[in-house]
Amino acid sequence: AQTIHQWPVAEIKAVGSPLSLGCTIKGKSSPNLYWYWQATGGTLQQLFYSITVGQVESVVQLNLSASRPKDDQFILSTEKLLLSHSGFYLCAWSLGDTQYFGPGTRLLVL
Amino acid sequence: GDQVEQSPSALSLHEGTGSALRCNFTTTMRAVQWFRKNSRGSLINLFYLASGTKENGRLKSAFDSKERYSTLHIRDAQLEDSGTYFCAAEGGDYNQGKLIFGQGTKLSIKP
């Protein structure tokens, strides 16, 4: 069974519209959670990390926010999308060392 | 800031041969992970190293924190090894678990 799920698989959204991407982890207790983003042609970079429920640290400012409402859930969101938000979003988990990545969400902002 | 330079950006090998990918770091890193990108764009774990070497089948990786580099060796390359490989280093700062990615190496295996 897959440990990490991301939704949606892909989205096409309009500039200025809101966004919510989700990530859930199954079968792991209190994992560290991460959001990564890769612009088309760019390098993957970490956006947020969380080591516990309700606590999220921002790594890169991209007019996005993240929340961890439950131990097994990590949400990435914004109220107003920019063209520059297009790309591939990956959620990852770890229990201290190795990070394991989800299947990703591809976002196109028009 | 911390940087990871991965080389080569592209590599073409004939089946049965081997080569190495390399990542150089601008600062001391605590650990390195190697990944391969799957068909959907997500990352498959190959290795995690905090030091030394690890081997798995035809792949072998090494990490030298002091000398600031890591390598991924592929031997007896097969057609199914084609794909894009990434290294990612974990910095030694307060940000727990921040992986800094290399730019990737596109590996093509030819018959």
Summarize pLDDT for A28-82 with one digit per residue, the tens.
999 999 999 999 889 999 999 999 999 999 888 889 999 999 999 999 999 999 9
What are the residues whose beta carbons fall under 8 Å from the beta carbon of B67, sequence distance 6 or more?
none
At residue B90, the 3 state secondary structure works out as strand
Summarize pLDDT for B32-86 with one digit per residue, the tens.
999 999 888 899 999 999 999 999 999 999 999 999 999 999 999 999 999 999 9
Q: Which residues of B touch A59 (CB under 8 A)?
A: 95, 98
Contact at CB, B33 and A34, closer than 8 angstroms: no
What is the nearest CA distance from A31 to chain B, expressed in angstroms?
12
> In this structure, are strands B69-74 and B19-25 parallel, antiparallel, or unpaired?
antiparallel
pLDDT of residue B1: 67
Q: Which tokens in the block code for residue B47? A: 């290795």
CATH fold for domain B4-110: Immunoglobulin-like (2.60.40)
Cα gap B87→B54, rounded to integer Å: 14
pLDDT of residue B98: 85
> Is A59 in the B-facing interface, judged by CB distances under 8 Å?
yes
What are the residues whose beta carbons fall under 8 Å from the beta carbon of B99, sequence distance 6 or more?
A34, A36, A46, A99, B33, B88, B89, B90
Domain boundaries, chain B: 4-110
pLDDT of residue B76: 97
Choose the closest CB to B33 out of A36, A49, A99.
Answer: A99
Largest CA distance in chain A: 38
Report which of A98, A92, A105 is spatially closest to residue A3, judged by C-alpha positions.
Answer: A92
pLDDT of residue B19: 97
Contact at CB, B98 and A46, closer than 8 angstroms: yes
Burial bucket for residue A73 (CB in 10 Å: 0-12, 13-18, 19+): middle
Domains belonging to chain A, first-starting first, are 4-109 (2.60.40.10)
Q: B20-51 burial, b if ≥16 CB within 10 A, otherwise e?
A: ebbbbbeeebebbbbbbbeeeebbeebbbbee
Inform me whether the pLDDT recorded for B102 exceeds 60.
yes
pLDDT of residue A94: 93
